[in-house]
Amino acid sequence: MATVDLKDVKKVYPSGVEAVKGVSIAIPDKELCVLVGPSGCGKSTLLRMIAGLETISAGTVAIDGKVVNAIGPTERDIAMVFQNYALYPHMKVYDNMAYGLRNRGTPKDEIDSRVRSTAKVLELSALLDRRPRELSGGQRQRVAMGRAIVRNPKVFLFDEPLSNLDAKLRGQMRVEIKNLQRTLGVTSVYVTHDQLEAMTLADILVVMNAGLVEQTGAPLDIYEKPASIFVASFIGAPPMNLLALTGSSSGPILADGTAIGFAAPGTQAVTLGFRPEDADVTFNAEALPGALVLPAAVEAVEPVGAESFLHCAAAGSRIIVRVSGRATAKPGDQLRVVGKAEKLHWFDQAGKRVD
Ligand SMILES: Nc1ncnc2c1ncn2[C@@H]1O[C@H](COP(=O)(O)OP(=O)(O)OP(=O)(O)O)[C@@H](O)[C@H]1O
């Protein structure tokens, strides 16, 4: 068992790049923490500092309450799974999995039983005599996982482990990783830029931007209450619709002059947001007091099976509405988009949430 605690961790590379600018995260025992954010936000650097592969410029990393800043990667009792699998091409699957244990001088019998039982869990038993090039991408990824698991580490670190797989396999492996992590109960940190992967895997989701944490929490809490415009746009696909507001004595007005007809929370809100699924469309002109009603022109319809995405021009912006099943609207239609008042999000000048 292990907790992982980061306190005000910073990384300045010798080139002067400030990759991580002060990050604090507390990961309880057995939980899976996902670091998500756009390219260059510092998530891999943070993971590598936890692994001991990168020096820590300031702050502390503690595993199980013990600060490990000065401890080398091999003594931290962690196992890392990389995007490129990092398997030894000339070794059989068995030897790839056994390698770390042999290096530590683990007795032969114990190595054999650990490799075989892990291979069984990962459905690799029939492949132990193959070399990596004789495996599919998903099987290679499983071997990389197996190599981490046999070591029985305190912490697993995953660096974009699924990005080389196709979409279907990625979906399957996501479920496998989640189940394995839960079964083994090993505290884990997982880096990805894929928001869907982040949402579905995380117990704790950490959204990073430009070397800082934008928001930490349970995935659905973050989805329902994004702390900033950055988070609102990054988490959720299609992303949240955002409309600029100006104030007037009679209430907020949208970019095209449409009055929204009800009050904003406080006077600070300058952006209004709603998720594509929190709006509906209607061809009727009835009054809908208390709802956000936007005259809209349908520009494109994307049917994806169980639902359709309507891309519309409304209030001087482009918005997307998610409707279930087959859409009745078609490009060129004029209709009204109706947002549920209780599902609106408001943001201030600095892009922070206003409640
Ligand atoms: N060895 C290095 N020396 C100097 N700068 C670096 C080094 N490694 C990364 N950086 C810089 O630090 C910042 C954070 O990089 P990092 O790889 O941690 O981001 P990331 O969020 O993991 O991005 P990606 O998803 O593209 O891997 C970037 O600006 C990057 O250019």
DSSP annotation of 351 reads S
pLDDT of residue 71: 95
Above 90 in pLDDT, residue 243?
Answer: yes
Q: What is the token pair recorded at 177? A: 């990783």
Other C-beta atoms closer than 10 Å to the C-beta of 17 total 12
Judge contact between 20 and 46, C-beta under 8 A.
yes
pLDDT of residue 250: 67
Both 140 and 198 in one domain: the answer is yes
Both 133 and 279 in one domain: the answer is no
Judge contact between 19 and 12, C-beta under 8 A.
yes
Task: State the Cα–Cα distance between residues 322 and 32, nearest whole angstrom.
Answer: 30
Q: How far is the CA of 99 from the centre of ligand 1 (A)?
A: 29
Above 70 in pLDDT, residue 249?
Answer: no
Both 163 and 251 in one domain: the answer is no
Give the residue-averaged pLDDT of 38-63.
96
- Per-residue pLDDT of 253-307, as tens digits, reads 888 888 887 778 877 788 999 999 999 999 987 878 778 899 999 999 999 999 9
Give the residue-averaged pLDDT of 39-44.
95
Which residue's CA is minimally distant from atom 8 of ligand 1?
45
pLDDT-based confidence at residue 152 (cuts at 50, 70, 90):
confident
- Single-letter amino acid code for the residue at 215: Q
- Per-residue pLDDT of 2-13, as tens digits, reads 999 999 999 999
Both 191 and 259 in one domain: the answer is no
Cis peptide before 239 (omega within 30 of 0): no
Which residue's CA is minimally distant from atom 4 of ligand 1?
13
| β-pair partners for 309 | 302, 322
Both 141 and 246 in one domain: the answer is no
- Single-letter amino acid code for the residue at 28: P
Task: State the Cα–Cα distance between residues 188 and 30, nearest whole angstrom.
Answer: 7
Q: How far is the CA of 287 from the centre of ligand 1 (A)?
A: 52
Both 209 and 329 in one domain: the answer is no
Q: Could you report the predicted ipTM of this complex, rounded to two decimals?
A: 0.97
Judge contact between 234 and 38, C-beta under 8 A.
yes
Both 14 and 147 in one domain: the answer is yes
Both 322 and 178 in one domain: the answer is no
Residue ending a domain, choose from 200, 231, 262: 231
Q: How far is the CA of 230 from the centre of ligand 1 (A)?
A: 19
Classify 152 in phi/psi space as left (phi over 0), alpha (psi -120 to 50) or beta.
left
Both 263 and 154 in one domain: the answer is no
In the chain, how many domains are there?
A: 2
Both 168 and 304 in one domain: the answer is no
pLDDT of residue 145: 87
Residue ending a domain, choose from 198, 231, 264: 231
Above 80 in pLDDT, residue 147?
Answer: yes
CATH code for position 65: 3.40.50.300
The residue to mutate among 13, 49, 83, having the most atoms of ligand 1 within 8 angstroms of its beta carbon, is: 13
Q: What is the token pair recorded at 332? A: 């060129």
Range of 263's domain? 238-354
Task: State the Cα–Cα distance between residues 121 and 77, nearest whole angstrom.
Answer: 22
The residue to mutate among 10, 45, 159, having the most atoms of ligand 1 within 8 angstroms of its beta carbon, is: 45
CATH code for position 304: 2.40.50.140
DSSP annotation of 136 reads -
Other C-beta atoms closer than 10 Å to the C-beta of 194 total 17
Judge contact between 146 and 152, C-beta under 8 A.
no
Both 66 and 205 in one domain: the answer is yes
Judge contact between 88 and 96, C-beta under 8 A.
yes
- Single-letter amino acid code for the residue at 173: M
Task: State the Cα–Cα distance between residues 319 and 310, nearest whole angstrom.
Answer: 8
Residue ending a domain, choose from 231, 257, 280: 231
State the pTM of this model.
0.92
Alpha helices in the chain (DSSP H): 43-51, 93-103, 108-121, 137-150, 167-184, 195-201, 219-224, 229-234
- Coil vs helix vs strand at 274: strand
Average pLDDT of the residues of the chain? 92
Which residue's CA is minimally distant from atom 2 of ligand 1?
13
Both 130 and 263 in one domain: the answer is no
